[in-house]
Every structure is written in C-alpha cells, then in structure tokens.
Amino acid sequence: MGLLKKNRQAAVSVQTQGAYTPVLPQAAGERGLYRALREQVPIIDAAIHKLVRLVGGFTVSCPEAKTEAALRDFLRTVPVNGCNCGIDSFLSVYFEQLLTYGNAVGEIVAANGAVHALYNASLDDLEIRLVSPLEAGVFVIRRSGAQPCRYPELILSSALNPAPGSAQGTSILKGLPFVSEVLLKIYRTIGINWERMGNVRFAVTCKNEGYMNAGDRAAQLAREWSRAMHGPGVSDFVAVGDVSIQAIGADNQQMNSDVPVRQLLEQIVAKLGIPPFLLGLSWSSTERMSSQQADVLTSELMAYRRILEPVVLKICRTWLRLNGLSDEVAIEWDEITMQDEVDHANAEYLAARTAALRGEEKKDNERENSEGCAENRRRGT
C-alpha cells in the first residue's frame, strides 16, 4: 500500500495538466503537422479510426469470482476525462494518440486512497524523456520549466516503435507528409481546372472594320451579352456585324489523374496497414488476396494489443492493490472478427478429427498385432 505514501491527501489533482506553456515542446510542430494531415486527407483519418475500432475489446479474469466481478464493474463505470466512462473510452483516445503522435500518456487519478478516474493527457503539456537507460519520465511543462510528476507510479505511458536510446515513439504517419502534399496538390489542381472549364466562359469577338465609334459598339455588345447570360430566363443575343462567340477552354483536356492518385494512395495505404477495401477503395483483388490482407491486418492488430496490454494491466493492478485485493489478473482479448472465430473453430475441429483418426489407426494396428500373435501361437502348436 506504499503507492501514495507521499502526503496522503483527501484528493489528488490531475498531475499531467499543464498550467502554463511559455514555449512549445520540441515535437509540437511535428504533432501539428500530423493533425493537419488527418484534417486534410480524409483517408488517413478514416484509417486511424478504423484501427481504433478494430483493435477490439477485452475481458479480465481473476482467481476469485467476487474480485473479478468487482474489477469488471470498475472498468465499465470508471469516469474518463470528465465526460465519458469506461476503460474502452480511455483506451480509444489513448490508442488514437499513440498512432497519431507515436506517444501516448494517461493518468490514474487517485482520491481518498482509491482510483477516482482515468485521464488522457495532452502531449502539448508534457515532455517525455529518459531519466535513466531503463526508465522514461514524464515532465509537465510549467512557467518555471519542466517538472517531473509527483506520483510517477500513477502515470501511464507508451511509445510506438521508439528509436534506440530514446523515449520518443514513431508516429504511424511518419513519411506521409511528402506523399500527402503531392496528393493534395493534384486535388487542388483538379478543383481549379473544373472551376475554369466546368463553369464555361465565353470569348465574344466583334470585327469593327468600317464602323465608327468602335468603343461604344463594344460596350453595347457587352451589355447585351451580360443581359442574355445573367437574365432571369432564357434570352436571345442579337448583334449586328461580324460577331463570333467561342467557349474558353472547351478544347482543352484535363490530365488523367487516375494513375498518379492511385500510386500515392497505395503508398498511404501501405504505411497505414489497412486493406484497401476497408477504406472504400475498389481496387481489383481476388478473394484469396483479400483473405491474406485480412490476415496481415490481424497480425498488425495483435501487435498493437501487445503495446496496450501493459497499460490495462497497470490500471487493473493499481485498483486491486488500493482495494486491498490480490493483484493477480489476466487479460483476454476478444476475437478480432467473426471470421477468426470460424477459423479457430475449424482448426479445432480438424485437430480433433486428426486425433480421432490417429487413435482409430493405433487401435487397428494393435488389433492386427494381437491377431498376428494369436495366429503365430496357433501355428506353433
């Protein structure tokens, strides 16, 4: 119970909320870039949301049934960030932060010697660095500088693929700014071209050879043309003389953007690890290819679960210890899809069938051996 020995108070406020940020943290610009990518490229934002949903839920199991029921009730009803409840809400924000920025920080808010709530901390208020080769520390940025948290045992922190000797994780969006910039440039160009050529503009040419007051005549033609084009209904345009009208840009053809856009989207999809059909991309793929892509996605989600599992275990064990219970707990993740359950059931059936066939084969061999021995004895007599 030495978790909160320091100055036990009636309530412990949130440690990871910064009061003042006189200067931006070192990685603030990079995080802003990743936020802009999600806002400007919808497919990136959709892929991250799908990964958060596909990672699935879990159940906890304890040796004692009463302890297990109490822990499950706590995980279902624990307040999160002041407006949500349940550990699923906390993990969704935590995992989304981890994918987008490469790091995620949360906090177990304790009050009166018990877990009061869970809090997702903003990385803009924090600085994560190694305090020793085997320990990462979370520092809160205040007016006086970066200060370590008073109760580091209540801090939850994860890093996605950190570089050796660093506590900074690697965002799943790393490497996409250049590709996304080119993709957005193509989209902007398509929009400009459609604005130019889709909204048809006309060139009205009048040859004023032999006419006096050419300027007045041109102004009159301009007024009549404007009236004909912007009038409330269909109107005729009447002119005298040699007048020709041509549509501006009608003969121009837009560049085919299908190939370059698909090449850029392939790079984005490959980096995010999401099968194209889950993002609404109707690329040609066989049934076997789709099945293989689903298997690869399953392995990706299992890797993410291995990163999140220590966070869940720390929350559960902290609650159990503060309530004077045994901290022995196990996490059982749900199957990712119903297809996984079907595959596992088929695998178990085939294994059982194989074992049964081997057992029957063994019995047949034993029976044949016994019959052979009996025949040898009969011949010997």
- Domain limits of the chain? 2-174+299-333, 340-365
Structure pTM? 0.72
Tell me the pLDDT of the chain (381 aa) as tens digits.
444 444 444 445 676 665 444 334 447 788 889 999 999 999 999 999 999 998 988 999 999 999 999 999 999 999 999 889 999 999 999 999 999 999 999 999 998 888 999 999 999 888 888 888 888 888 888 877 788 888 889 999 999 998 888 888 899 999 899 999 999 998 888 887 777 666 677 777 777 665 566 677 777 777 777 777 776 766 666 676 677 777 666 555 667 788 888 889 889 988 988 888 788 787 766 556 666 777 778 888 999 999 999 999 999 999 999 999 999 999 999 887 645 555 656 677 778 888 888 887 777 777 777 777 777 777 765
Contact 260, 186 (CB under 8 A): yes
Torsion of CA 325, 326, 331, 332, to 10 degrees: -90
pLDDT given for residue 6 in this prediction? 46
**Amino acid type, 338:** M
**Amino acid type, 73:** D
Altogether, the residues listed in the chain come to a count of 381
pLDDT given for residue 338 in this prediction? 47
What contacts 24+ positions apart, CB below 8 Å, involve 43-49? 43/265, 43/268, 43/269, 43/279, 44/173, 44/176, 44/180, 44/268, 44/272, 46/279, 47/268, 47/269, 47/272, 47/274, 47/279, 48/96, 48/99, 48/100, 48/172, 48/272, 49/96
In Å, how far are 201, 206, 218, 295 from 243, measured between CA atoms? 16, 4, 11, 68
Task: Name residue, tokens 């293989």.
Answer: 292
